[in-house]
């Protein structure tokens, strides 16, 4: 909590007139900032780098009945301070 001296100083500095002045100045600043013209992006004259896909590895997985989808709660094993959960098997329609 604030001491009575601090509260009294704050009351003396705050007034309805100062609140309206600072509120009007803030509103004017907000509206004026919207009037600034947007900067245009500079054109990029750099030629793009060559892209090749000869070293791409396909990491997608097909969904099948043996595919692990999430973990089974309550079935876990501990290794030191680490806890490991085995994957659950989801039934997939073919």
Domain residue spans of the chain: 4-33, 63-94
Q: What is the mean pLDDT of residues 52-59?
A: 77
Digit-coded pLDDT (tens) for 28-48? 888 877 776 777 778 777 877
- Contact (Cβ atoms closer than 8 angstroms) between residue 29 and residue 21: no
How many residues make up the chain in this entry? 94
Contacts (Cβ under 8 Å, ≥6 apart) of 71: 85, 86, 87, 88
pLDDT band at 69 (very low <50, low <70, confident <90, very high): low
Exposed/middle/buried for residue 89 (C-beta within 10 Å: 0-12, 13-18, 19+): middle
Whether 21 has a pLDDT exceeding 80, the answer reads: yes
Share of the chain above pLDDT 70, in %: 72
Q: Return the top range by mean pLDDT from 25-29, 54-58, 62-66, 71-75.
A: 25-29
């Amino acid at each position: 909590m604030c001491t009575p001296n601090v509260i009294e100083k704050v009351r003396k500095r705050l007034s309805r007139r100062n609140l309206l002045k600072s509120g009007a100045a803030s509103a004017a600043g907000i509206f004026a900032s919207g009037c600034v013209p947007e900067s245009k992006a500079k054109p990029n004259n750099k030629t793009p780098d060559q892209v090749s896909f000869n070293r791409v590895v396909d990491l997608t997985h097909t969904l099948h009945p043996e595919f692990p989808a999430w973990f089974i709660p309550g079935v876990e094993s501990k290794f030191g301070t680490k806890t490991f959960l085995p994957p659950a098997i989801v039934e997939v329609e073919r």
